[in-house]
A = this chain, B = another copy of it.
């Protein structure tokens, strides 16, 4: 059995403070780069102009440069004639002003005579129409301060100020060592027990974004000496070392011991969730971090600790992120032991930002992909009730969130296609969908958490779809139903239908493993309705209590041989190359509160689902009848 080693439970900020003190002053080194290759780099020292810009007086207009005293006395009634070469020089905008002249008269104020003469009818003041030395930048002026990240526009001023190379912070080399005997590189043959190694690739990309230079090492197996050798090599070549996986206190976790042997461990175990078993150590004065293996744990550690380390090397020592106030749509429980990082999806519905927590598991990479924000729940808080207003750290911009159509309810592959096409056709807009089943969609409508709810809810009494549910559960909210598709429901079985399943009765046979959909899903209702008609007791179905959340998930379980049959739609079976026994049709429609029907995003959505392009995709999927798609039914 795994040994239980005691981990500390230090507060996150405390731990970082202790650690940074231990590492003494991480002050990056400098290097000199050519100015026009310095975008994105951070200035090591302030940049002062070496010359003025412009560095000579020049003309601000097209006209003539002359001496102001020669023009005194010129009026409408008493013109003054000037001779080219003697009294003036023709100048274009930007031309230098000769020392003998001190002003410019613009071409519109001149009367051309012949033989290089002009006539003026008003006097000119000294320095009029002249762009003076230093109008933009004055020699010795501060152009760019220290610890400043250079942007494209800054380059223009720096060059104009005569500075062609600047000192910037050298980028730290960050070694990344993936460990784990079960880890395999992507691209090879996969066998059960393998875990594809991808954390190191995410870390490499993050390090680059933060301004470091990632150096990824090959996967090291769970062997003490191998890991030790890899770490020693990394310490030689890198400024910062990140070791991934094996940082919990289990039987195959050597990271902590290796760091202790080669250097020292400052902190092992921080009160964060996920991410607790992180190790903060140092070898030869260089930071060495043991990052937990689970992807979300790794993300929390990278984002809250490693980023600070990398950026300290390049003169950036402030955390800058945008937050937004949101209303929670769900109660969120949290342990008092840890600071928890909860991923949330954020919608902007009826003028409010609303947030729904997603996937708490430390292994769900998709929760990071889909997250719009992170809710940090402090240690001393047990959780928040539904409806609480909290501050959330944004991962997408407010503008993007405001331009996102929220779609919560029953999943179907056509929603993904609609979402993709919707964004391609309307670059500005996004469609964000959450798969919680049809009743979940109804609940979201009741709670004003969504713009669209895809549903397929069967009225068990009369066999009709959707409308009766909307009338029953939303009697006081004017609703509209956008017609979607008729789709085929049935039994999904392995390719070749080895058990020769022909109807629902066949799934009751002993030993046959069924995989179900969750309560509240339209598919579950469809199943229960049909079981009732056939007088089949659900308890007799082995696996009736085993629940998956989408059609594809059901199909995947059958495809993997983990179940003999499940209920789902034709397109899911077809996608995974499985066989299918049709049981009936059902209506899959989109419920929309009437107040939203004139929103530009909704109108664009309806447009998209009515296009030939979209219908073509439905044909490819198979099993869809879109004869009435996009029609609007007012309830």
Question: Can you list, as one digit per residue, whether each of A30-64 has a CB less than 8 Å from chain B (1) or not (0)?
Answer: 00000110010000001000011111110000100
Q: Is A538 an interface residue (CB 8 A)?
A: no
Distance between A538 CB and nearest chain B CB, rounded to angstroms: 15
Chain B residues whose CB sits within 8 angstroms of the CB of A204 once the complex forms: 36
Nearest-Cβ distance from residue A237 to partner chain B, whole angstroms: 20
Chain A 126-143 against B: per-residue CB contact (8 Å), 1 yes, 0 no?
110001111111111111
Asked if B198 contacts A155 (CB within 8 A), the reply is yes
Q: Do A400 and B92 form a contact, CB below 8 Å, given A46-B416, A156-B368, A199-B156? A: no
Q: How far is the CB of A177 from chain B (nearest CB, A)?
A: 16
**Interface residues as binary, A353-378 with B (CB distance below 8 Å gives 1, 0 otherwise):** 00000000101111011000000000
Residues of chain B within 8 A of A139, CB atoms compared: 552, 556, 559, 576
Q: A163 to nearest B CB, angstroms? A: 9
For A141-184 the 0/1 string (1 means CB < 8 A from B) is 11111111001111111011010100000000000000000100
Q: Please determine whether B94 and A182 come into contact, CB atoms closer than 8 angstroms.
A: yes
Kindly list chain B residues whose C-beta atoms are within 8 Å of the C-beta of A153. Answer: 202, 299, 365, 368-369
Query: Contact at B320–A155, with CB atoms within 8 Å?
Result: no
- Provide the bound-state CA to CA distance between A131 and B361, in Å: 10
Pick out which of these stretches binds chain B: A185-193, A436-444, A603-611: A185-193
Assembled-state Cα–Cα distance A553/B52 (Å)? 9
In the complex, what residue of chain B is closest to A52 when comparing beta carbons?
B556
The minimal Cβ–Cβ distance linking A91 to chain B, given in whole angstroms, is 10
How far, in Å, is A475 (CB) from chain B's closest CB? Answer: 35
Q: Which of A94-144 contact B (CB under 8 A)?
A: 94-96, 107, 112, 126-127, 131-144
Instruction: State whether the Cβ of A317 lies closer than 8 Å to any Cβ in chain B.
Output: yes
CA distance A90 to B2 in the complex (A): 10
Q: Which of chain B's residues have a CB closer than 8 A to the CB of A182?
A: 94
Of the residues B62, B199, B201, B553, contact of A138 by C-beta under 8 Å = B553
Is the CB–CB distance between A318 and B205 below 8 Å? no
Scan residues 12-44 of chain A and give those whose CB is less than 8 A from a CB of chain B: 35-36, 39
Do residues B420 and A192 form an inter-chain contact, with CB atoms below 8 A? Answer: no
Interface digits, A528-557 against B, CB 8 Å rule (1 contact, 0 not)? 000000000000000101100010110011
Residue of B164, B318, B366 touching A186 (CB-CB under 8 A): B164
- A562 interface residue (CB < 8 Å to B): yes
What is the size category of the interface that chain A forms with chain B?
35 or more
Say yes or no for A206: interface residue by CB 8 A criterion. Answer: yes
Q: Is A424 an interface residue (CB 8 A)?
A: yes
Chain B residues lying within 8 Å of A382, measured Cβ to Cβ, are none
Is A398 an interface residue when CB atoms closer than 8 A count as contact?
yes
* Residues 405 to 434 of chain A near chain B (Cβ within 8 Å): 413, 416, 419-420, 423-424, 427-428
Does A460 have its Cβ within 8 Å of any Cβ on chain B? no
Cα separation A152 to B137 with both chains bound (whole Å): 40
Chain B contacts of A368 at CB under 8 A? 153, 156-157
Q: Is A6 interfacial (CB 8 A cutoff)? A: no
15 more contacts with CB within 8 A, not counting A148-B423, A152-B203, are A1-B62, A1-B107, A1-B112, A39-B205, A39-B209, A92-B251, A96-B193, A134-B553, A134-B556, A140-B413, A140-B576, A145-B423, A147-B427, A154-B369, A317-B428
Q: What are 28 of the A-B contact pairs (CB < 8 Å)?
A: A39-B205, A39-B208, A51-B190, A54-B195, A55-B190, A55-B560, A56-B192, A57-B562, A92-B250, A93-B250, A126-B545, A134-B557, A136-B363, A137-B366, A139-B576, A141-B552, A142-B419, A145-B416, A151-B205, A152-B205, A152-B206, A153-B202, A154-B369, A159-B186, A162-B190, A164-B187, A320-B428, A322-B397
